[in-house]
Amino acid sequence: MPNTALVTGASSGIGREFARYHAEKGGDLIITARRAAELEALKSEIEADHDVKVQTIALDLGSPEGAQELYDQTKGQEISILINNAGFGGHGAFTDRELATDLAMIDLNVKALVTLTHLVARDMAKRGSGKILNVSSTASYMPGPLQATYFATKAFVSSFSQALAGELKEKGITVTALEPGYVETEFAARADLDGTDLTKSGATPRSVAKYGYDAMRRGELRAINDGRLRFMLNWIVPWLPRWTVLKMVRRMQEKSV
Ligand SMILES: NC(=O)c1ccc[n+]([C@@H]2O[C@H](COP(=O)([O-])OP(=O)(O)OC[C@H]3O[C@@H](n4cnc5c(N)ncnc54)[C@H](OP(=O)(O)O)[C@@H]3O)[C@@H](O)[C@H]2O)c1
């Protein structure tokens, strides 16, 4: 049975661990990100350790044709698992931030994810099987002052994923949203989050990838890897007044240094 996973954002962090974990399970891989050298290093490592094939595709998924180009380069291969993991965040007051950076964030976190899902899910629907894992965030549960655009992109990802799960179930496809809290990857430095309370303690990318991958295999709808956060977000935050939530989130994202 073909068992090929397409993993976006596989050159570092959670994406790299998805790729390693899938290979441990004996699955072939198509891995993509912009940094070709990191992808090649991962391919060599995985192919040395496991009896699987790894294809690398280095491209900018956030560019207007990125997702279509990626899909075209996978033509002829049966993708049984799609892991939409590539994404980035960005700290700062919305009006102080460069608009172009926030629009690029929407291009990658939202537009590329929607496009790639559309292309790959159609093939899965024709075959009557497939698994999709979209990497969202605990940020999807609330608005995020000082990371307004990022939180909104992840609210989109979780909403979109659940709606698709509702539509695609009858076609034999499951859709899972992985919603981690802080994870120790390159993400925080890239998003300029160092020095905020958010980055005080985090999970390892390996533990988060494994948790999300296993939840995807079981066909779960939403997966939060941390039990305390899961309880807070499902049972406390929805009952708090919105201004309290906004103040709380803003405080967590203010820099203490
Ligand atoms: N770390 C956290 O605290 C955290 C928490 C919740 C959710 N998440 C989500 O988890 C996912 C993975 O992030 P991470 O924590 O593993 O961060 P990371 O280490 O920065 O990894 C991000 C990945 O996305 C790729 N990427 C970024 N821009 C791209 C572009 N334009 N085109 C193609 N690939 C691109 C990067 O590769 P290149 O730079 O080589 O292109 C990299 O492989 C993201 O969706 C993030 O929002 C992270």
Is 220 in contact with 175 (CB distance < 8 Å)? Answer: no
DSSP string of 45-76, one letter each residue: HHHHHSS--EEEEE--TTSTTHHHHHHHHTTT
Rounded distance from Cα 10 to ligand 1 centre (Å)? 8
Distance set, CA 166 to CA 80, 98, 124, 163 (Å): 19, 36, 15, 5
pLDDT range class, residue 257, cuts 50, 70, 90? low
Give me the residue label for tokens 């509702």: 166
* 256: pLDDT strictly greater than 80: no
- Tens digit of each residue's pLDDT (9 = 90 or more) over 179-191: 999 999 999 889 9
Asked, for residue 89, whether it belongs to a domain, the answer is yes
Count of CB atoms within 10 A of residue 22's CB? 26
Rounded distance from Cα 39 to ligand 1 centre (Å)? 14
- What CATH number does the domain containing 181 carry? 3.40.50.720
Q: Given the CA of residue 39, which atom of ligand 1 is nearest to it? A: 40
| Residue 154 is a catalytic residue | yes
Rounded distance from Cα 114 to ligand 1 centre (Å)? 16
The letter for the amino acid at 196 is T
Can you give the pLDDT at residue 199? 83
Asked, for residue 118, whether it belongs to a domain, the answer is yes
Give me the residue label for tokens 């996973």: 5
Contact 157 CB / ligand 1 (< 6 Å): no
pLDDT range class, residue 162, cuts 50, 70, 90? very high
Asked, for residue 257, whether it belongs to a domain, the answer is no
- Tens digit of each residue's pLDDT (9 = 90 or more) over 122-138: 999 999 999 999 999 99
- Spell out the residues 6+ positions from residue 195 whose beta carbon is closer than 8 angstroms to its own: 255, 256, 257
* 243: pLDDT strictly greater than 80: yes
Can you give the pLDDT at residue 229? 95
The letter for the amino acid at 187 is F
Q: What is the mean pLDDT of residues 43-68?
A: 98
Question: Hey, which residues does 29 pair with through a beta bridge?
Answer: 5, 54
Asked, for residue 131, whether it belongs to a domain, the answer is yes
Can you give the pLDDT at residue 197? 84
- Tens digit of each residue's pLDDT (9 = 90 or more) over 68-91: 999 999 998 999 999 999 999 999
DSSP 238: G
Please give the Cα distance from 3 to 87 (Å, whole number).
24
With CA atoms as reference, report the closest residue to 77 among 29, 128, 32, 117: 29
- Tens digit of each residue's pLDDT (9 = 90 or more) over 185-242: 999 889 988 888 888 889 999 999 999 999 999 999 999 999 999 999 999 999 999 9
Q: End-to-end alpha-carbon separation of the chain, Å?
A: 53
Q: What is the mean pLDDT of residues 105-111?
A: 98
| Residue 126 is a catalytic residue | no
The letter for the amino acid at 224 is I
Please give the Cα distance from 26 to 3 (Å, whole number).
8
Can you give the pLDDT at residue 2? 52
Is 5 in contact with 24 (CB distance < 8 Å)? Answer: no
Asked, for residue 156, whether it belongs to a domain, the answer is yes
Contact 183 CB / ligand 1 (< 6 Å): yes
- Tens digit of each residue's pLDDT (9 = 90 or more) over 136-159: 999 999 999 999 999 999 999 999
Give me the residue label for tokens 């009952």: 239
Asked, for residue 90, whether it belongs to a domain, the answer is yes
The overall average pLDDT reported for the chain is: 96
Q: What are phi and psi of 209, to 5 degrees?
A: -65, -45
Asked, for residue 134, whether it belongs to a domain, the answer is yes
- Tens digit of each residue's pLDDT (9 = 90 or more) over 4-29: 999 999 999 999 999 999 999 999 99
Q: What is the mean pLDDT of residues 36-58?
A: 98
pLDDT range class, residue 1, cuts 50, 70, 90? very low
Q: Is 200 exposed, middle or buried (0-12, 13-18, 19+ CB in 10 A)?
A: exposed
Number of domains making up the chain: 1
- Spell out the residues 6+ positions from residue 128 whose beta carbon is closer than 8 angstroms to its own: 171, 172
Domain span holding position 210: 4-252
* 103: pLDDT strictly greater than 80: yes
* 164: pLDDT strictly greater than 70: yes
- Tens digit of each residue's pLDDT (9 = 90 or more) over 25-42: 999 999 999 999 999 999
| Residue 182 is a catalytic residue | no
Asked, for residue 22, whether it belongs to a domain, the answer is yes
DSSP string of 109-162, one letter each residue: IIIIHHHHHHHHHHHHHHHT-EEEEEE--GGGGS--TTSHHHHHHHHHHHHHHH
